[in-house]
Structures are given as structure tokens and as C-alpha cells.
Amino acid sequence: MKIENTWCPGCGNFGVLESMKRVIKELGQKNVVLVSDIGCNSKIVDYLDVSSLNSLHGRPIPTASGVKMANPKLKVIVFTGDGGSLNEGISHLIHAAKKNTDITVIMHNNRLFALTTGQYTAASPKGFKSKSTPYGSIEEPLNPLGLMKASKASFIGRTYSSKIDYTKDMIIEAVNHKGFSFVEILQPCPSFFDTFKFYNERVYEAPRNEKLINEWDYINESKIPLGVFYKEERPTYEDEI
């Protein structure tokens, strides 16, 4: 079925879509199930010719965990936003990482609630002006990768939506990892927070090094490393069951 694409022109999500088309081509359509949150990011599952289900806002992780438990042979990939996973669904994210549930969570980080027209999230920078923070956010943002390390995620990576093949390779590595994998995709939202220039000037591909999780604190304007920063093998939740 052909579904009309309703993303804004120039949205960073188009880059993620292109990477995902290549991921599915490599992994094989029949082996993959996508589970989406609610948000601009989540529309991606409608634009890919593969089995998927749409969950509630902040709830795709427990939904995906159920899919994986019912059929452990499937590669289960969650699409979520920084709002869905660091605000509404943060407890699910932490517990799935702790359990080492064998799913992949892809968090499109545009640093705001985009679908509802740009309110601030736990990932928004301090001072960020939005409809919900007209005088600027008074909170400092979370570092999602640091949160994932503290929550015992066994695979932690960061990529950028404009790096199509680099993102494709990281998603494949994450999906093939046995255990909970978390991939943050820096995803500019040109309609409400255009970060293309900011990222283009700062991102660089880095070697694996756990310390890089904290190199960029989401506050300062330092260089921003991309890469798989942490990977470990340990029994998954499904193994233990």
C-alpha cells in the first residue's frame, strides 16, 4: 500500500528512512519487525515495506519486548523520539536496558516534541525557546548515552541522520548484537530546531571508546563524536527466561 509521506521538506528523518531502506535490503524483509512510538519519527514504519506495529506514546519498548518474547527469531527494532523515550517512556527504556532485552531501540533525537509543534523535552538545551518554554527552558538536558550506560545497555552508539551509509552500518551492527542495543540518531528538525549547520560543523567518526559517551555533554559546543562507544556480551532476558 502506498502511503503519502507527510514529513516537512528537508527533515532529517528522510536520511534515516534512506538508511533503513538499505538496512532492510541487507537483513531481509521477513526477518524484521518494526515497532513505532508516536511522533514524526514513528511515521518511518509506514514508509518501509516491512511488518510493523504502532504502539502508544512512550510505550513501544514493552510492546517490542512482547514481540521478541513471542518469537525470539525475529529482529525487533523500535523507533522512538527523544520525547517518547526520555519523557513519557523513560522507565521502559531504563528497564529494557537493565534486562538486556534483545531488541534495538533507535532514538531520533531532534531535541523536542516535533509532531505536537516543538515543545521542549528532556533533551532540549537549556535556554531553548518553545511554546511550552516561551522564556527559554530552565533545565539542563539529559545525556541519553550516559543514561544508557548507567542502565546497563550492552550496545551504545550515536550517529547522524545525514550519514546514510554510516547509519545503515551502525543499525545493522546494533540489530546483530545479542542483547539490548541503543542507537541515538542526531536528527535535525528544520521546522522547529534546525541543527544541520551545528552538527555538520561538529560531528566526527570516532573509534570505540567508552569515555566518548561523555565527551559531548549536550550543553557545550565541542566536537561531537559518532560511533559505537560501548559493546558487551552478557545473557539476554530471553536467554534467562
Task: Check binding of 192 to ligand SF4 (CB under 6 A).
Answer: yes
Nearer to ligand TPP, 38 or 156 (CB): 38
Q: Residue 52, interface with ligand SF4 (CB under 6 A)?
A: no
Cα-based angle 215, 217, 220 (whole degrees, multiple of 5): 100
Dist. CA 124–CA 14, nearest whole Å: 21
Residue nearer to ligand TPP on the CB measure, 13 or 181: 13
Site string for ligand TPP, 115-134 (x = CB under 6 A): xx----x-------------
CB 230 to ligand TPP: min, Å: 24
What spatial distance separates the first Cα and last Cα of the chain, rounded to whole Å? 38
Closest approach of ligand SF4 to the CB of residue 7, in Å: 4
Residue 45 binds which entry of ligand TPP, ligand SF4, none, CB below 5-8 Å type-dependent: none
Report how far residue 212's alpha carbon sits from residue 201's, in angstroms, rounded to the nearest whole number: 18
Which of 188, 159, 155 lies closest to 173, judged by CA? 155
Instruction: Enumerate residues 6+ apart whose C-beta is below 8 A from 1.
Output: none
Q: How far is the CB of 184 from ligand TPP (least distance, A)?
A: 12
d(CA 103, CA 95): 12
Binders of ligand TPP among residues 58 to 97 (CB under 6 A) are: 58, 81-84, 88
- The residue type found at 133 is T
Given 19, 55, 110, 133, the residue binding ligand TPP (CB under 6 A): 110
Distance between CA 30 and CA 49 in Å, rounded?
Answer: 10
Q: Which residues bind ligand TPP (CB under 6 A)?
A: 37-41, 57-58, 81-84, 88, 108, 110, 113-116, 121
Q: Which residues bind ligand SF4 (CB under 6 A)?
A: 7-8, 11, 13, 40, 110, 114, 189-192
